[in-house]
Structures are given as structure tokens and as C-alpha cells.
């Protein structure tokens, strides 16, 4: 890339620089070959070089389309030209009952976690503001409470998302500035997937009705809700108890978070634990009528014994 520095490139570099400033671990870019992750690779390569940071890229080949191995190899080659040591990891996506999107996400994150654990690296993910807006709308559709519309955090342990303030179109501009060619995943155009219909139908309609700016507004909403949720989670950790009377005296917003911590600590499946499940556990505190147990995902049940709540393994019917 020569000549005048594009403003969007300078902004993206600043976002990556700020995102990794407080942590000196090696950097690992999760690369798909799409515009978002290629732009992240280009910016990260520059920032790493200027700050003498170790950085590399991993391309996850899901094997879901013909020629995916060639696409993955091309992405790795472009990352190498940018100065990032790269490798391709092939994974087996078995959808089972969870759907192809969920299965692909699960195996992708598992592969990245395993690779990052080798050198205790930070994993940089290329989610954009548009991804955040779509995530918020999916959460609203599930109706699972504030946690489901808090969106994706900019930092969660080793997972870092520097581009949550960039639009998808801006990542394409960054790729063009670096003369990178990206791949458009056909799944991103397939209306069978709910996220695609949100992207292609719902968000444009909302922009039309509300006068534009909806994606940015949804992302701001996620930031505000996440800040409140994180504060309540801190209070819930401090207030942790299994005493029903102490729980009953708490405000509902705090009590439900304490109950969630109790359920997760007992082995409930975090990704499947819903607001409806927690409402039923809450009834053991606020509307106790001798209920036998509340069964939760993960083969865990919450029972009340006297004035105490405890988690047990759900008995097997037979």
C-alpha cells in the first residue's frame, strides 16, 4: 500500500492498537478469507510490526463448500504477504441437532482456542458493527432478557474484537487499500439462515421506517445494556447465596443473576439456560408451593430443601 494513508485504515489501526495495548501476549488473527478478517489481518500485521509484537494467522477450513481448501490456502497466502505467519486448520462440522451455523461456530472456536493455547495468544476476531447489530436483533427475537441483547463484548478473556465500531463496507475499503482479494461466503446470502434475512431484509426495512442509523443505534444499545449487565453481575457475585429468605429480599434483577450463578455453578448449560428457566427457579423463592424440582439444560435440577436451594443431577426417567 503506497501513497496517502486512507482515513479508514488509520482508524482501524488505532482500534487494533487500543484493543491490544494492555496485554503483551502474542496475537492470533482468526482468518476466513472474507473482507472483515482480511482487513483485520492487514491492520494487525502493521500494528504488530510497528510495536515488535509477535503475530500470526490461522485459517479455519470448515469444508462446507467445494473448493474450500483452495479458498483457505489463498487466504493464508495473502496473510503471509502481509507478514503474518499463517496456517490452515481443517475441521469437521457435524451439525447434529444444533444447525450448521451453530456447529460451525462451535468447532471454529474450539480449534482457535486449542491453537491459541499453544503460545497463550490473544485471538483477534473480525466482528463488525453490522455483526453486532444483527446479534442484538437475534437476541431480541429470543426474548431472553438483557444478556441476550448485550451483544458481543470487545474483550472476553483471550477473545478480542477490535472492529466492533467499523462497518462492513469499511473493511472492504481497507482490503482494497491493501490490494487484497476477499471471498464472499455463499452462506452469507442464503435466506435459510435467520441472520442473513436480518441483514438483507429486516435491517434495510428498519432503516427505511426509522430514517437510517439503525445498526449504529443497536450497537450503542448493546454497549449500554452490557455495562448495566456487567455491573449487576459484579453485585450478584458479591451477594451469592442459596438462602431462600435472603434471595427473596433482593431486587428481582439482582436475585435472578444470583440464581443464574447458582445454576451454572451446579452444571447447567450456559448456552441453553433461558429467562424462562430462571423464572421457574425464581418461583422456588418467590412462590414456593412445595415444587419437586426445576429441571434445567445440562441434566441439572434445582430443588429447595427447607430454606436452601441446591443443584442435583436430574433423575433419569425409567
The answer to whether the annotation marks 34 as part of a ligand binding site is yes
The answer to whether the annotation marks 37 as part of a ligand binding site is yes
Question: Whole-angstrom Cα distance, residue 87 to residue 80?
Answer: 9
Cβ(264)–Cβ(288) below 8 Å: no
The answer to whether the annotation marks 33 as part of a ligand binding site is yes
Question: Whole-angstrom Cα distance, residue 318 to residue 298?
Answer: 18
Question: Whole-angstrom Cα distance, residue 22 to residue 158?
Answer: 12
Distances 112 to 120, 125, 207 between C-alpha atoms, Å: 11, 10, 35
DSSP state letters, 214-245? HHHHHHHHHHHHHHHHHHHHHHHHHT---BHH
C-alpha grid cell, residue 109: 472456536
The answer to whether the annotation marks 32 as part of a ligand binding site is yes
Question: Whole-angstrom Cα distance, residue 164 to residue 89?
Answer: 25
Q: What is the SS3 assignment for 313?
A: strand
Task: Supply angle C-alpha 25, 30, 31, rounded to 5.
Answer: 140
Residues with Cβ within 8 Å of 260's Cβ and at least 6 positions away in sequence, in order, are 236, 273, 278
The answer to whether the annotation marks 36 as part of a ligand binding site is yes
Q: What is the SS3 assignment for 318?
A: coil
The answer to whether the annotation marks 143 as part of a ligand binding site is no
Pairing of strands 159-160, 155-156: antiparallel
For residue 152, give the nearest of 141, 143, 165, 168 by alpha carbon: 165
Binding-site residue set: 32-37
Q: Residues comprising the binding site for ATP?
A: 32-37
Amino acid at each position: 500500500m503506497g501513497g496517502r494513508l486512507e482515513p479508514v485504515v488509520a482508524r482501524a489501526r488505532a482500534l487494533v492498537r487500543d484493543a491490544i495495548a494492555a496485554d503483551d501476549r502474542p496475537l492470533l488473527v482468526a482468518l476466513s478469507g472474507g473482507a472483515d478478517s482480511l482487513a483485520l489481518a492487514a491492520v494487525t500485521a502493521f500494528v504488530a510490526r510497528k510495536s515488535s509484537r509477535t503475530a500470526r494467522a490461522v485459517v479455519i477450513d470448515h469444508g462446507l463448500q467445494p473448493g474450500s481448501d483452495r479458498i483457505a490456502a489463498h487466504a493464508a497466502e495473502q496473510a503471509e504477504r502481509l507478514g503474518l505467519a499463517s496456517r490452515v486448520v481443517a475441521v469437521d462440522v457435524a451439525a447434529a441437532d444444533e444447525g450448521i451455523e451453530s456447529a460451525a461456530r462451535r468447532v471454529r472456536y474450539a480449534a482457535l482456542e486449542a491453537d491459541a493455547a499453544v503460545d497463550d495468544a490473544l485471538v483477534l476476531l473480525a466482528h463488525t458493527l453490522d455483526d453486532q447489530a444483527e446479534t442484538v436483533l437475534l437476541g431480541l427475537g429470543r426474548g431472553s432478557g438483557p444478556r441476550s441483547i448485550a451483544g458481543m463484548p470487545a474483550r472476553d478473556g483471550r477473545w478480542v474484537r477490535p472492529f466492533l465500531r467499523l462497518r462492513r463496507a469499511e473493511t472492504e475499503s481497507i482490503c482494497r487499500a491493501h490490494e487484497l482479494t476477499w471471498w464472499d461466503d455463499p452462506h452469507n446470502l442464503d435466506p435459510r439462515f435467520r441472520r442473513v434475512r436480518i441483514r438483507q431484509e429486516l435491517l434495510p426495512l428498519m432503516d427505511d421506517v426509522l430514517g437510517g442509523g439503525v445498526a449504529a443505534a443497536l450497537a450503542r444499545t448493546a454497549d449500554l445494556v452490557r455495562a448495566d449487565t456487567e455491573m449487576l453481575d459484579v453485585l450478584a457475585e458479591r451477594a451469592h447465596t442459596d438462602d431462600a429468605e435472603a434471595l427473596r429480599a433482593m431486587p428481582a434483577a439482582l436475585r435472578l443473576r444470583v440464581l443464574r450463578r447458582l445454576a451454572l455453578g451446579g452444571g447447567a448449560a450456559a448456552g441453553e439456560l433461558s429467562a424462562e428457566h430462571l423464572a421457574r427457579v425464581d418461583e422456588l423463592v418467590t412462590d414456593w408451593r412445595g415444587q419437586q424440582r426445576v429441571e434445567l439444560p445440562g441434566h441439572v435440577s434445582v430443588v429447595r430443601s427447607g430454606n436452601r436451594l441446591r443443584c442435583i443431577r436430574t433423575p433419569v426417567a425409567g
